[in-house]
Amino acid sequence: MNEIKNKLLKLAAEKENDLIDLCSNLIKAKSVNPNGDIYSAINVIKEYLDKSNIEYELIDRNSKEFPIIIARVGEKKENGKTIFLNGHCDVVPIGDIEKWNFDPFSGEIKDGKMLGRGTSDMKCGLGGLMFMMKVLKENEAKLNGEIVLHIVSDEETGGEFGTKWLYENNYFEDGAACIIAEPTSSNNCEVGQKGSLWFKFKSYGIPAHGSIGNYVGENAITKLLKLLNRLEDFRTIEGKYEEKQLPVLEDSKKIARESLKVEGVDNVIDHVTVNIGTINGGTNTNSVPDYCEASVDMRIPIGIKLPFMLDKLKSLINELGLKGIEYDYTWNSEANYTDVDTELVKAVVRNADYIWNAKTIPAYQWASSDARYYRLKNIPTIQYGPANTEGIHSYNEDVDVIDIVNCSKVYITMMVDLLDITL
């Protein structure tokens, strides 16, 4: 570890309480989405940036309800680099309060863990990024370029006014790298993710009296069920990987096996998954229904493209001889990834290995995140953030304090490598 990193780490250690207070204040802010107080978190962030003399702009022309903050340190240089960072400050609702063992907005520390909604997803990751910027700013670090942090506030309901909006309005071009502080385990970083393809199916039939339904009319529900039952076939579709991706694939499957602990679950990484999420049809018990609809979430592995999936669906409907079924789809994104031999991935692995004194594994995820927008702009992107994955979007969310602290150290040391920092 070089001298500059050691110096910055020492300074960060002296200010550790500052990081913990920031995270705790973020947890106390009830920025629940939907229907919470987003500005409670925005105000904590503004106050911290003001106090740290970090330059920022608040954008609300995307949406008054879900503002964006863009903060930066360093400056754009001709031969310098721009490193983007991304975090969201909204959290999902707490659900049934009775199922929590503690106040979900406490932000307290107990037995080495910080407690509350958003500790893992992802206020403490965001806090780590802000703290890293403060450490660099306060110590007048000289950067070969700039760090630009995008803080969005509607990630949990689809991101329409967050990263997607920044993407569509060209807020990030020509980045050398992007780091998203979404939760990963401390021993892995996300370097790729599946795509998602959401269908809405509509089935039309012919109404009749229920008593003669087996002979007369056409039941829209049973027709749609025939199709839905066969969608399971899609689960055999396997991704296609380049030779150099195979070790990452193997590691990712191992992580899935170890974390999800269900027989065969590692297929979640490299096969299509199918979830029938909603179904609705019919009006009363004694009528043959003439309408039924269902929505389906498919997750698509690396190497499988949209036209292939649509062809498969068309042939299945033909094979089953189903008439009167319509569908439309939203294609959120293809599966996307960053090569493991990029400087960004090497930097996170090298520094996380050092900070944790353990091996950090680049891996593909089964879900998707805002990383896809940066990758669509050809910016190498990883996800690395503190987390205890069990509590995410569930009850009793917490995160280990050591994870918060070490993660911020990884951010600091990575920046030294990526931006040739001197003091």
Judging by DSSP bridges, how do beta strands 273-281 and 291-300 pair with one another? antiparallel
Beta carbon nearer to Zn ion, 121 or 400: 121
* Complete edge-to-edge strand list for the sheet that includes strand 195-204: 273-281, 291-300, 195-204, 325-333
CB of 182 to Zn ion, least distance (A): 5
Kindly identify the residues of this chain, within the stretch 259-318, that bind Zn ion according to CB under 5 A.
Answer: none
CB of 122 to Zn ion, least distance (A): 5
Beta carbon nearer to Zn ion, 121 or 290: 121
Element (H, E) at 399: strand 398-400
Pull the structure tokens for residue 250: 């193997």
Pull the structure tokens for residue 249: 């694939």
Residues 6+ apart with CB under 8 A from 210: 285, 286, 287, 288
Stretch that binds Zn ion, among 36-44, 113-121, 227-235, 333-341 (CB under 5 A): 113-121
Residue 397 within binding range of Zn ion, rule CB under 5 A: no
The DSSP line for 360-379 is -EEEEESS--THHHHHHTT-
Beta carbon nearer to Zn ion, 302 or 371: 371
Strands, E assignment, 218-310 = 273-281, 291-300
d(CA 103, CA 97): 8
The verdict on whether omega for the bond into residue 386 sits within 30 degrees of 0, i.e. cis, is no
CB of 409 to Zn ion, least distance (A): 21
CB of 74 to Zn ion, least distance (A): 26
Stretch that binds Zn ion, among 53-61, 114-122, 351-359, 376-384 (CB under 5 A): 114-122
Strands, E assignment, 13-158 = 55-59, 68-74, 81-88, 109-110, 113-115, 145-152
CB of 405 to Zn ion, least distance (A): 20
Kindly identify the residues of this chain, within the stretch 340-379, that bind Zn ion according to CB under 5 A.
Answer: none
d(CA 360, CA 33): 32
CB of 125 to Zn ion, least distance (A): 8
Beta carbon nearer to Zn ion, 124 or 294: 124
Residue 90 within binding range of Zn ion, rule CB under 5 A: no
What sections of 285-342 are H helices per DSSP? 306-319
Burial label, 101 (beta-carbon count in 10 A; 0-12, 13-18, 19+): exposed
Beta carbon nearer to Zn ion, 162 or 301: 162
Q: Which residue's C-beta sits nearest to Zn ion?
A: 121
Size of the site for Zn ion (CB under 5 A): 3
Selected from 122, 141, 148, 274, the binder of Zn ion by CB under 5 A is 122
Beta carbon nearer to Zn ion, 182 or 270: 182
CB of 4 to Zn ion, least distance (A): 31
CB of 6 to Zn ion, least distance (A): 32
CA angle in degrees (0–180, nearest 5) for 69-73-74: 145
Kindly write out the interface string for residues 181-220 of this chain, putting x where it contacts Zn ion by CB under 5 A and - elsewhere: -x--------------------------------------
Residue 26 within binding range of Zn ion, rule CB under 5 A: no
Beta carbon nearer to Zn ion, 119 or 360: 119
Beta carbon nearer to Zn ion, 8 or 114: 114
Cα Rg, the chain, nearest whole Å: 24
d(CA 121, CA 274): 25
Max alpha carbon distance in the chain (Å)? 84
Kindly identify the residues of this chain, within the stretch 165-184, that bind Zn ion according to CB under 5 A.
Answer: 182
CB of 302 to Zn ion, least distance (A): 21
CB of 398 to Zn ion, least distance (A): 15
Stretch that binds Zn ion, among 110-118, 119-127, 160-168, 341-349 (CB under 5 A): 119-127
Residue 32 within binding range of Zn ion, rule CB under 5 A: no
Beta carbon nearer to Zn ion, 301 or 385: 385
CB of 87 to Zn ion, least distance (A): 8
d(CA 86, CA 181): 7
Residue 407 within binding range of Zn ion, rule CB under 5 A: no
Q: Are 292 and 282 in contact (CB under 8 A)?
A: yes
Selected from 90, 121, 370, 400, the binder of Zn ion by CB under 5 A is 121
d(CA 181, CA 407): 9
Beta carbon nearer to Zn ion, 201 or 373: 373
Task: Name the site residues for Zn ion (rule: CB under 5 A).
Answer: 121-122, 182
